[in-house]
Amino acid sequence: MAELKLEVGDLVAVRYPGSAIVGDLPERWLGFIIETTESSDPYSMDKMWCFKTESVHILNTYRDHIEVLNK
């Protein structure tokens, strides 16, 4: 599987993984990428502006399920 490469301005749909307490969260959060990182560290994160919450979400390409909609 190819590594996901996000670019500033990408339109994305994100699903966050659940936990044993919360369960899987099927909701898709739509937004666009406002900041990316070049680090390959699994703890590095990108940022998305979310339309629904009108706030910044921190993304992790190793953990979150991210779909780029504009490519």
> pLDDT digits over 3-41, tens only?
788 999 999 999 888 655 445 656 889 999 999 987 666
- Give a yes or no: residue 27 inside a domain: yes
- Give a yes or no: residue 1 inside a domain: no
Residue-averaged pLDDT of the chain: 83
Residue 2 CA: distances (Å) to CA of 7, 42, 62: 15, 15, 12
Question: Mean pLDDT across the stretch 52-65?
Answer: 89
CB 33 within 8 A of CB 48: yes
Give the number of domains in the chain: 1
For the chain, list the strands marked E by DSSP: 11-15, 29-35, 46-50, 55-59, 65-68
Q: Domain containing 23: what range?
A: 11-68
- Give a yes or no: residue 4 inside a domain: no
- Give a yes or no: residue 2 inside a domain: no
Q: What is the pLDDT of residues 43-58, one digit of tens each?
A: 778 999 999 999 999 9
- Give a yes or no: residue 3 inside a domain: no
CB neighbours of 29 closer than 8 A, spacing ≥ 6? 13, 14, 15, 16, 48, 50, 52, 53, 57
